[in-house]
Amino acid sequence: MYRADAPGRVNLIGEHTDYNEGLVLPTATPQRTVVELSPREDRVVRVESEGYMPIAYQLGEERHCGDWGDYVRGVTWVLTKAGHAIRGFDAGIASRVPPGAGLSSSAALEVALLRALRDAFHLTLDDMALAYAAHKAERDVVGARVGTMDQLAAGLARVGEALLIDMRKSDIERIPIPGSLEIVVVDSGIAHDNAKQGAYNERRAQCDEAARRLGIVSLRDATLGDVERLAPQNATLARRVRHVVSENERVRAFVAALRAGDLARCGAIVDASHASLREDFDVSIEELDVLADALRSQHGVHGARLVGAGAVPVAHRSDRSCGDAGLARVPRILDAPCPVRRPLTRRASSPASHGRTTAPARCSRSVRIRAGDARWSPRSLPIPTTSCSMSRPARGSSPSSSPRATGAESSVSIAARTCLPRPRAGTA
């Protein structure tokens, strides 16, 4: 029996820049996907994941089926196509990385499976090579035109530090996360699936078209002068370019502020990123905007923004009441009290449930801790339900039916939070 795992990731800054050969800054989550694998003597592959139908197929007969098993089929297809000698296997998958939440559960699955196969069949692949193999699997078999950031983060990131990745050069620099910065992931309850919904691919195609019109290899080479030049031809493409150009600059500024310990500056930068994603890249929706505003209103929160096509992270200050200072740099994942009255589609909680959703349900004000501090309380996040008046969507409609949701099908909000002070003796 061979066992391997890989983490999810939270991208601190640098959204929709990876496939434009730009800069990104992901960090690992403590939640991981685990694969246990037993080699077989034939070419049969059998894989189970709780809550899903098992899959079975023969090596060499992989094809796109449109289900969660495409991630597994993609991995074995890449390895056999590259000439690696593998046999069939039986495997079981368990995951604590929330699926469809912008935390790269698919990359965690791919990298964990590749690590298990590397050990089982003695493959000569380092972690960088595994990351690129995982990316090829998701792009060519799953059908999602994602960049390589997710797989690089799943393969190389460590809790307590961020990876500054130059996607053009594949240069990686490890950036320590100060103990005074805390990251919390707040689940908004709106699921996404890049492979099944086309808005992500549409944004990528728009970036490619903008680069073609400007006569450059990618938007990494674009400038604000190019934005002005493109605007008369196509205002939408010009806004896409402006986001990519300004977001690369925000990554550099965020890293400089992080190194200087200037958390207020970090917060201002992520706020600016959210505004750019909303106004220039059109990948936010009203639920996420209201949630980000609610988080920013909390004491000690420096900033909040959506990430991973629909999530909200926040830079935050910790205090001595947090206890173990070593936990301050670990992203925490929580369910969010929904800041709107609109019923949202809740994601299935089973492992590897990529894209699977349950029946619509209203969010509540309660906060359920997935991983983190028992002192986190709903009272620390008063939700302004009266600030948003959205009508109930028609039967069969989805949260992405609003105009601004055309590029955001994800379902996570990420935020930093302050620890509640311990109650004094004799108080409730």
- What structural domains does the chain harbor? 2-174 (3.30.230.10), 179-415 (3.30.70.890)
Is-contact 32 111, C-beta < 8 A? no
pLDDT in 10s for each residue of the chain, 428 residues? 999 999 999 899 999 999 999 999 999 998 999 999 999 999 999 999 987 899 999 999 999 999 999 999 999 999 999 999 999 999 999 999 888 777 889 999 999 999 999 999 999 999 999 999 999 999 999 988 888 999 999 999 988 899 999 999 989 999 998 887 878 777 677 665 555 557 888 999 999 999 999 999 999 999 999 999 999 999 999 999 999 999 999 999 999 999 998 888 999 999 999 999 999 999 888 888 888 888 888 877 888 888 754 445 444 444 433 333 333 345 555 544 433 333 333 333 333 333 333 333 233 222 222 333 323 232 333 333 222 222 223 333 333 333 343 333 332 233 343 333 333 333 33
What is the pLDDT, as a whole number, of residue 7?
95
List the catalytic residues: 150
What is the pLDDT, as a whole number, of residue 331?
59
Is-contact 306 274, C-beta < 8 A? yes
What is the pLDDT, as a whole number, of residue 315?
42
What is the pLDDT, as a whole number, of residue 340?
35
Point out which residues pair with 413 in neighbouring strands. 186
